[in-house]
Chain A
Amino acid sequence: AQKITQTQPGMFVQEKEAVTLDCTYDTSDPSYGLFWYKQPSSGEMIFLIYQGSYDQQNATEGRYSLNFQKARKSANLVISASQLGDSAMYFCAMREGLGTSYDKVIFGPGTSLSVIP
C-alpha cells in the first residue's frame, strides 16, 4: 500500500496566485513527521516545511504553509503569492518513529508545479 499519495501529477498556477498541493498519508504510528521538499530542474532537494504529528498548530515558513488534517491523514502544502521560481517538482514525505532510532523517510511520487507569468 502506498504510504504517501500525491494525486496531482501536474499543476499550473498563475503568478501571484495561491496554490494547494495535495498529500495524503497512511500510518498507524502515533509519532510521525511530515515534510515537503522542492526539487527544481537543477536536481537539488530543498527542504520547505515540517509538521510533527503532535504539533497543535499548522506549520508555516514564509510563503509556505502546511494544512495538516490529522483525522483525514492529509498534509497539503499551500504556496501563497506564487513566483516563477516556484516552478519545480514538490515531494511530500513522511518519517515514522520519531524519537527512536528507526529513521526511514518515505517520499511520495511528486507533483510538478508550473507557474505561469
Chain B
Amino acid sequence: DTGVSQDPRHKITKRGQNVTFRCDPISEHNRLYWYRQTLGQGPEFLTYFQNEAQLEKSRLLSDRFSAERPKGSFSTLEIQRTEQGDSAMYLCASSVGLRDRTYEQYFGPGTRLTVT
C-alpha cells in the first residue's frame, strides 16, 4: 500500500496525558499537512510542512500542540496535557507540492483521539 498511513488509528487517553501520532506520507510527496476534524464538521487546518520546514501554523495549534517532520519524510503530532476538547479525528495529508498542478491532497485514514 503506497498511500498515506497514520498510526495509531485509535487512541484513548486520560485528561492530562501526552499523546503522539505519526503520519507517513506518500514517498515522493514533499508537502505534509495536519488537520483536525470534529464530529459533523469539515477538517480544520492545523499545520503543514514543505520537506522538513514547518511553513504554516494555524492559531488552532496552541502551545500544547507541536508537530515535527525531522527528515522530511514522516511527521509526528504531539499533544501535551490533553484536554477533553482535544477529542477529534486527526487527519494527515500529503501532496507533491509546487510541481503538482492539481494541488490534490491525499489523506490518510486518520487517528481518532478520545480524551476521558
Contacts and interface: CB of A to CB of B under 8 A. Distances in A.
A11 interface: no
Nearest to A9: B40
B103 A50 contact: yes
Interface string A66-84: 0000000000000000000
A29 interface: no
Given A45-B93, A101-B55, A104-B56, A50 B43 contact: no
Interface string A89-117: 00101010011011111111110000000
Contact of B107 (A45, A95, A104): A45
Contacts of B72: none
A108 B91 CA distance: 16
Given A35-B105, A103-B33, A110-B40, 12 more contacts: A44-B110, A47-B104, A47-B107, A95-B103, A103-B31, A104-B56, A104-B58, A105-B33, A107-B35, A107-B42, A110-B41, A110-B42
Nearest to B53: A101
Contacts of A44: 107, 109-110
Given A45-B91, A101-B55, A102-B56, A91 B50 contact: no
Interface of B: 31, 33, 35, 40-45, 48, 50, 55-56, 58, 89, 91, 93, 98, 102-107, 109-110, 112
B55 A103 contact: yes
A44 B108 CA distance: 7
B45 A105 contact: yes
Contacts of A108: 42
B42 A50 contact: no
Contact of B44 (A37, A98, A107, A110): A107
Contacts of B110: 43-44
Most chain-B Cβ atoms within 10 A of its Cβ — which of A43, A103, A105? A103
Most chain-B Cβ atoms within 10 A of its Cβ — which of A35, A50, A101? A101
B41 A104 contact: no
Contact of A47 (B33, B55, B105, B109): B105
30 contacts: A4-B42, A33-B103, A35-B104, A37-B107, A43-B110, A43-B112, A44-B107, A44-B109, A45-B43, A45-B91, A47-B105, A47-B107, A50-B104, A91-B43, A95-B103, A99-B98, A101-B98, A103-B31, A103-B48, A103-B50, A103-B55, A103-B56, A104-B56, A105-B33, A105-B45, A106-B45, A108-B42, A109-B41, A109-B42, A110-B41
